[in-house]
Amino acid sequence: MLTISAADVDRALTFPGLVETLRAAFREGAVQPLRHHHTVERTAGSETTLLLMPAWTDFKRVGVEAEGHIGVKIVTVSPDNNTIGKPAVMGQYLLLDGRTGEPKAIIDGQRLTQWRTTCASALAASYLAREDASRLLVVGAGALSPFLAKAHSAVRPIGTIRIWNRTPANAEKVAADLRTEGLAAEAATDLDAELAKADIVSCATISQTPLVKGALLKPGAHVDLVGGFTPQMREADDDAIRRASVFVDTRTGATKEAGDIVQPLASGVLAESDILADLHELARGEKKGRSSADEITLFKSVGAALEDLAAGVAVYEALRT
């Protein structure tokens, strides 16, 4: 069994390559039960969330059992970790042979998550963002922030990147790191002003108060909501939902777990029929993405176990020889 580090994952993947791997995965499908979502109560500080995300090859669809895989990601989200200099998200991914159940690899789950999450956003943007989208605003300066900048830059001609965070020094650090990789990134201090100028707004926070104000979005903008993974979290306000054509990664996950979808559904701002498509339907050509240059689009992801499986198999195949 291979033990695959974060550095190994970086060596195995490219952003354009993984976007296409995920496109094929959503087109072909996989069995992915709704993820197990458990709250671990603590005597002091914030609660820890334990997530278990299983998936396996849909053998009935592809019919090639010998080449199938089973995978499960075990993740913890501990918001208080940031105060002690540790990542809020920890995890490992276990990849198994689909026929025998033999363990094939244990993969750094944090890095795999960063790659697959941001490449899923880029995949959505390939259908939903304008072809000429060149100005990207990343809201949040956590571990996903630089990956989002690079993933979106892989599918659209991004020439200007702005990073906003409640702590400006954190935004500047991300921007500085991106500049060393040749990307035109700067820290932003005025979120509202940047929202009004951005072609793509990519938001990766654990905020429970909306940060993206829909009234400020310009015609043709694309909003990518990544961070909120519980019904209590919210990154965009009701105006954003009202003004936008709404898309999700998976209907089952988004309508049960994502506050940006769950809360508008509960209040009547959004109906389930207003969700125009998920990534399966977009990848299979069953539903259309962007329909006009002035259309505002909004994509909400909560993460799909299929993404982990596809990314995990890609990493394993790249490194096993």
Q: Where are the domains of the chain?
A: 2-112+306-319, 121-304
Alpha-carbon torsion (249, 250, 253, 255), positive or negative: positive
Tell which CATH architecture fits domain 121-304.
3-Layer(aba) Sandwich (3.40)
CA distance readout (Å), 125 to 119, 148, 162, 210, 219:
9, 11, 17, 21, 16
Q: Do 21 and 30 contact (CB within 8 A), yes or no?
A: no
Count other Cβ atoms within 10 Å, centred on residue 190: 10
pLDDT at 124: 98
Tell which CATH architecture fits domain 2-112+306-319.
2-Layer Sandwich (3.30)
Burial of 160-185, coded b for 16+ CB within 10 Å and e otherwise, reads: ebbbbbeeeebbbbbbeebeeeebeb
| pTM of the complete model | 0.92
DSSP-derived secondary structure for 92-106:
EEEEEETTT--EEEE
Domains 2-112+306-319 and 121-304 share a fold: no
Q: Which residues of the chain have pLDDT under 70?
A: 61-66
pLDDT at 17: 98
pLDDT at 154: 98
CA geometry: angle 220, 263, 129, nearest 5 deg: 20
Burial of 251 (0-12, 13-18, 19+ CB in 10 A): middle
pLDDT at 63: 57
Identity at 102, one-letter amino acid code: E
pLDDT at 170: 97
The residue behind tokens 């650090």 is: 173
Query: Do strands 69-77 and 48-57 pair parallel, antiparallel, or not at all (unpaired)?
Result: antiparallel
